[in-house]
Chains A and B, each alone.
Chain A
Amino acid sequence: MVPLHWYLTLSAAVFMIGMFGFLTRRNIIIMFMSVELMLNAVNISLVSFSHYLQDLRGHVLVFFVITVAAAEAAIGLAIIISLFRNKQTAHVDEMNEMKG
């Protein structure tokens, strides 16, 4: 029997990798994929909790997370497209209009 800790540690590791990617990569598409990675990490922990606590609510939550992730991907990619149309780049370094 695999203990719950292992799953949670795996989930934390994937989440941190996603976070690291988000904080360091400059390509906005890869940043976006990092966010998806973090969402998946959360899903892993939700499913494993569900399994160990014998409760289906975690699955329901995962279901909603996937729904929102899909919506977010659609909107986010649309934003990236229009950004690229204006800036001709997907590099976030070029996007510093908010500079003080």
Chain B
Amino acid sequence: MNSYALIPFLPLAAFVINILFGRKYLKENAHWVSILAVAGSWVLAVMALMDVLNGNKINFDLYTWMLSGGFKVSVGFLIDQLTVVMLIVVTTCSTLIHIYSVGYMHGDTGYYRFFSYLSLFTFSMLMLVMANNFLQLYFGWEGVGLCSYFLIGYYFDKKSASDAGKKAFIVNRFGDFGFGLGIFVVFLTFGTVYYEPVFSQASSLAEATYNFLGYDVHLMTLIALLLFCGSIGKSAQIPLHVWLPDAMEGPTPVSALIHAATMVTAGVFLVARCSPIFSLSETALMVVALTGAITSLFAATIGLVQNDLKRIIAYSTVSQLGYMFLACGVGAYTAGIFHLYTHAFFKALLFLCAGSVMHAMGGELDIQKMGNLKKYMPITYATMLIASFSISGIPGLAGFFSKDEILWMAYAGESPVGKFVWAIGTLVAFLTAFYSFRLIFLTFHGKFRGTHEQEHHLHESPKSMTIPLVLLCVGAVAAGWVGIPALIGENIGVHNYIAEFMKPVLGHPEGHGTHGEEMVVMLISIAVGLAGIGLAYFMYIIRPELPDRLAQQFQAVYRILFNKYYVDELYSFIIVRPAIWTAKNVLIGITDGHIIEAVVNGVPSAIAALSSGLRKIQTGLMQHYATIMATGILIIVAIMLLR
């Protein structure tokens, strides 16, 4: 049973080997270590899945990390249904993306460095999902944040990349601050940071309040919202979403692994993991649902007009993450995790396809300069098309089932904002289909709009890249089949396996609607998906001049969307510039210049002045020392004898 501890530690070992021996000895073979390690983790994860399917729940402490009075934290692992799903997602995506990176990163100077960071990331992510206490979760949380920073800024000689890395790290600080406070409050309330006692005691404290500065705050709401702060940062929700699009400066496999499939979903995982706490607070759930809904709409509208291939997908990720929070917020944690799981496949696939396109286009990212790539890159085209169908919610594909589950739960659930977020979700489904196919049509259809040189260079990517694409494509198609809703499942004789599987951990709220209503909701979501695709086809294939005319006509709206609602500018104005002003004028000018420097220079010069006086005592003559010693003896003897 303890062999499951190897799941995170295999990638850690790979990291250590690569970072120590990569530069000198492994060089172009660095990927072998990492891939073998992560594949080993995958095998163990599958074994863990089998174990959990057999009804086992694994919870063990590896060793005591800290012990201080009543505060005890171990490095320990909890493997239950939720963990196992995350394990499968993380190790599968990670393995495939490791393989993809062999082709994508080929010939890069920092080849070993890239793979060692990937391994470190995988280790941190696995520590995060497998933790059995909040502190280890936090360790993994910060670990993935660090690796994200490393990997976004992987091309550190490029200023925009290193800036983006810093931005991601700093923006996450805001969220993690809240998360850290949340863990403090958990410890303050429960006296422990282990999941099991915390969650089992939570319901007995459902009505507890905490007096903060004279206000009685509902304790569970406080904890839930503080923890959710971390989720907002890590999963790029409003208002901390600004880092994720910029994070696309990193290599594409990184975008796929970290910024689509795994790390950014950690926030959703956190909410699901803490569902016993969130469920006790209606306010917190509502905040989660509304944040998710608004973010998904917000990001989807921005995605409509962007021209950067990877950024469109990034906004799509933000939007889909909003969907997951929306699901959690209406109490449908299972649906959220289910979407997380399907999303990992089709979104990683979208990113990897984008990487493949970039590879062919020589790093070009502007979709206005592409076109007709389907002729040159059939495999990439086919897989990306399927991924787009999946994300648009075409029936039968993975995205359909999870998205439909979310919308139905929002519509039928008990949440007071359920109907509202359902409406937003449906609108977002339409927008998602539209911008996804805008991307497809502009990239792969029409005429090629790039330079001749680029056209000459176009080619399908090597096998090491296309094979992971195909494998992920299988996931994007079939991953949803474990969660076929009862409405359809009854007719073809399958259950909603994932809902049953997750029930012990996350519960499974039953919808209050009839089959008829469910059918209507499903049909609406199919219809808006198809409508979105149709509109994209109309605007970019049949009438390609239309988008420009619309942009002209609705210039103000277009500008706001194109500039991402000016959020970056707003933050720059209210946070970054005041901070820099303060740093320059107050910290450098006054604190550093007049206070610190005065102390730093004053202390040594005072010591120097004092010692230049004192050193005269040191004559170097033995008899002076002896005389002083005799004086001392006289004083001591006098005190002792004449007392």
Contacts and interface: CB of A to CB of B under 8 A. Distances in A.
A29 interface: no
Contact of B615 (A93, A96, A97, A100): A100
Interface in A43-100: 92-93, 95-100
Nearest to A96: B620
A19 B618 CA distance: 21
B621 A92 contact: yes
B623 A95 contact: no
Given A19-B630, A23-B630, A92 B622 contact: yes
Interface string B41-78: 00000000000000000000000000000000000000
B618 A100 contact: yes
A92 B615 contact: no
Contacts of B622: 92, 95
A23 B623 contact: yes
Interface residues on B, range: 10 to 19
A24 B619 contact: no
A40 to B, nearest CB: 18
B575 interface: no
A71 B621 CA distance: 25
B521 to A, nearest CB: 91
Interface string B590-619: 000000000000000000000000011111
Contact of B620 (A22, A31, A98): A98
Contacts of B620: 95-100
Contacts of A95: 620-622
B626 interface: yes
Contacts of A26: 623
Contacts of B623: 22-24, 26, 31, 92
B627 A99 contact: no
Contacts of A93: 621
Interface residues on A, range: 10 to 19
A23 to B, nearest CB: 5
Contact of A96 (B616, B617, B619, B626): B619
The residue in B618, B623, B627 that gathers the most chain A C-beta atoms within 10 A of its C-beta is B623
Contacts of B626: 22-23
Nearest to A26: B623
A99 B630 contact: no
Interface in B618-643: 618-623, 626-627, 630
Nearest to A99: B620
A94 to B, nearest CB: 10
A100 B616 contact: yes
A98 B630 contact: no
A19 B637 CA distance: 15
Contacts of A98: 618, 620
Nearest to B616: A100
B66 to A, nearest CB: 49
B627 A96 contact: no
A23 B618 contact: no
A97 B620 CA distance: 6
A24 B619 CA distance: 16
Contacts of B618: 98-100
Contacts of B630: 19, 23
Contacts of A19: 630
A23 B631 CA distance: 11
A84 to B, nearest CB: 15
Contacts of B619: 96, 99-100
A97 B618 CA distance: 10
A22 B623 CA distance: 8
Given A92-B622, A93-B621, A96-B621, A23 B627 contact: yes
A95 B620 CA distance: 7
A100 B617 contact: yes
Contacts of A24: 623
The residue in B615, B619, B622, B626 that gathers the most chain A C-beta atoms within 10 A of its C-beta is B622
Contacts of A99: 618-621
B418 to A, nearest CB: 84
B342 to A, nearest CB: 79
The residue in B615, B616, B620 that gathers the most chain A C-beta atoms within 10 A of its C-beta is B620
Interface string A9-41: 000000000010011101000010000000000
A14 B492 CA distance: 118
Q: Which 5 A-B pairs have the closest CB atoms?
A: A100-B618, A99-B620, A96-B620, A100-B615, A98-B620
30 contacts: A19-B630, A22-B623, A22-B626, A23-B623, A23-B627, A23-B630, A24-B623, A26-B623, A31-B623, A92-B621, A93-B621, A95-B620, A95-B621, A95-B622, A96-B619, A96-B620, A96-B621, A97-B620, A98-B618, A98-B620, A99-B618, A99-B619, A99-B620, A99-B621, A100-B615, A100-B616, A100-B617, A100-B618, A100-B619, A100-B620
Given A95-B622, A100-B615, 5 more contacts: A19-B630, A23-B630, A95-B621, A98-B620, A100-B620
Interface of A: 19, 22-24, 26, 31, 92-93, 95-100
